[in-house]
Amino acid sequence: MAGRFLSLFKPIARIIPEIKVPERRVGFNEKLFWTAITLIIYLVMSETPLIGLPAQTLQELAPLSIIFASSRGRLTELGIGPIVTAGIILQLLVGSNMIEADMSRPEDRGLFTTASKVFSIILTGVQASAYVIGGMYGPDLPGTSTIFIFMQLLAAGMVILLLDELVQKGWGFGSGISLFIMAGVAQQIFWQCFNPPTGLFVGSLSTVLSGTEPITSWIYGKGAYPSLIGFIATIAAFLVIMYMEGVRVELPLSYAGYRGFRSRYPIKLLYVSNLPVIFASALFANVYFFSQIFWSMTGGRNFWVNLLGTYTRDEGGQMVPSGGLAYYVLSPRSFANVMADPLKALVYLGILVAFCIVFSLTWLEVGGLDPPTVAKQLVGAGMQIPGYRRSGRAVESVLKRYIPVVTILGGVIVGLIAGISDFFGVFGSGMGILLSVGIVYQYYEILTRERAAEMYPAFRRIFGG
């Protein structure tokens, strides 16, 4: 049954738009060029407003903007949300063996990629429809404007999908998703520091110097203004995460074909990197998004919808979660809010850590990082652990002592860092900083490896290029 599910996408693979894998080796400078072009196109789209929107102040969906790299009222309204959500759905189905996919087979990998693209396009249409039908742009939006906005969101979603595929298939560095998240976080941190109306070093400091606000408002923050504590916490969060990225256990290895050749296999403390936070935050953002849509459509009169989330309107007329699951999956985002409702902060942190552990263990299987798969790769490369027989079972037994433990521990750590950072009001959000540091670290490794392979072509065999 599972195998037949993926085979359903074979006919679709022929007609769905795609970026071809380069048939030649793409040089370092050319990859740098296409990566820059991809980023520039995305940033231009994030500043291009949707045509047909009413002249009104749109509600900022903060929980969605970081993880989904989205911009309210712009072409990137949906951001990478459909891509991330489609990936979560398929990876969970594969991890639970509801869909059978052997990622070591090129055919299965290709079908899985096609299935991800199809689900991404479907979810783009679903979310775009939810935005326009659910009243996110106002209840009195004309029918022609509704259709036109829907078509813009659908077309922009396709462009974002192709930009991500362009980078991932070897024309650029890393992935488009990582690139867009990193750019969004960097942009938000910059504006929170230097934005003239509300930036920490321009807006809020000027109000203190002019005597409009007491100095405590600059230290602890007030209203839309960021705080000095948040700025210090941001620097501290960066340093802690950078340190955690470097913590690892190194297993000694020897090469059976050459006596005396020694190497080490690093098992990082953050073994599955920042992926658990991406999945958990994407899940939370979808809970917030859909609960808001359903609550608006039912007016709070449906019991099951109210369990998902209830809302009230603040002084500015914006909907704020007041109960249900949506209330507890939304970070307090400041120390004052934590003190005002410590129970919510503890529940949020507990849910976040729990889901980070679940997604860490899931990705361990789905991503091919489990002990049996890693042992098979090492033995296949002619490596063995000194003092043990050269067999997959022996290597697997050693890896099982470390990999499951660091996977769970890493999930706990990234959940705590992301949650506690938000409690102190860090710039760009705790999740954003955690993701950006991991992404920058990955890009550093990618660029270093690519530059070494460019200068010394013989290294390409070692790097698998």
C-beta of residue 173 within 8 angstroms of C-beta of residue 32:
yes
Instruction: Compute the distance between CA of residue 47 and CA of residue 162 in angstroms, rounded to an integer.
Output: 19
Exposure pattern of 174-211 as b/e (b: 16+ CB <10 Å)?
Answer: bbbbbbbbbbbbeebbebbeebeeebbeebbbebbeee
Q: Is 69 helix (H, G, I), strand (E, B) or coil?
A: coil
Single-letter amino acid, residue 45? M
Dihedral sign (CA 218, 224, 229, 231): negative
Give the DSSP per-residue string, 338-361.
HHH-HHHHHHHHHHHHHHHHHHHH
C-beta of residue 124 within 8 angstroms of C-beta of residue 152:
no
Summarised one tens digit per residue, pLDDT across range 51-63 is: 887 655 455 555 5
Per the rule left: phi > 0, alpha: psi between -120 and 50, beta: everything else, 225 is beta
Instruction: Give the highest mean pLDDT range of 32-41, 51-60, 71-80, 323-332.
Output: 32-41
Dihedral sign (CA 451, 453, 456, 457): negative
Which residues have a Cβ under 8 Å from the Cβ of 161 and sit 6 or more positions away? 82, 83, 117, 120, 121, 124
Q: Residue range 425-441: average pLDDT?
A: 85
Summarised one tens digit per residue, pLDDT across range 168-223 is: 888 998 888 888 988 888 888 888 888 777 778 776 777 767 766 677 767 776 66
pLDDT of residue 258: 60
Closest CA to 69 of 411, 428, 331, 351: 428
Q: Residue range 14-37: average pLDDT?
A: 87
Higher pLDDT, 245 or 344: 344
Q: Supply φ then ψ for residue 221, to 5 degrees.
A: 85, 155
pLDDT of residue 57: 46
Q: Domains, the chain, ranges and CATH?
A: 1-173 (1.10.3370.10), 225-465 (1.10.3370.10)
C-beta of residue 238 within 8 angstroms of C-beta of residue 213:
no
Query: Mean pLDDT over all residues of the chain?
Result: 81
Where does the pLDDT of residue 41 fall: very low under 50, low under 70, confident under 90, or very high at 90 and above? Answer: very high
Mode of pairing for the β-strands spanning 248-255 and 383-384: antiparallel
Closest CA to 46 of 197, 167, 188, 195: 188
What is the percent of the chain with per-residue pLDDT over 90, rounded to a whole number? 17
Cβ neighbour number for residue 460 with a 10 Å cutoff: 15
Instruction: Compute the distance between CA of residue 47 and CA of residue 44 in angstroms, rounded to an integer.
Output: 5
CB hemisphere CA count around 303 (13 angstroms): 0
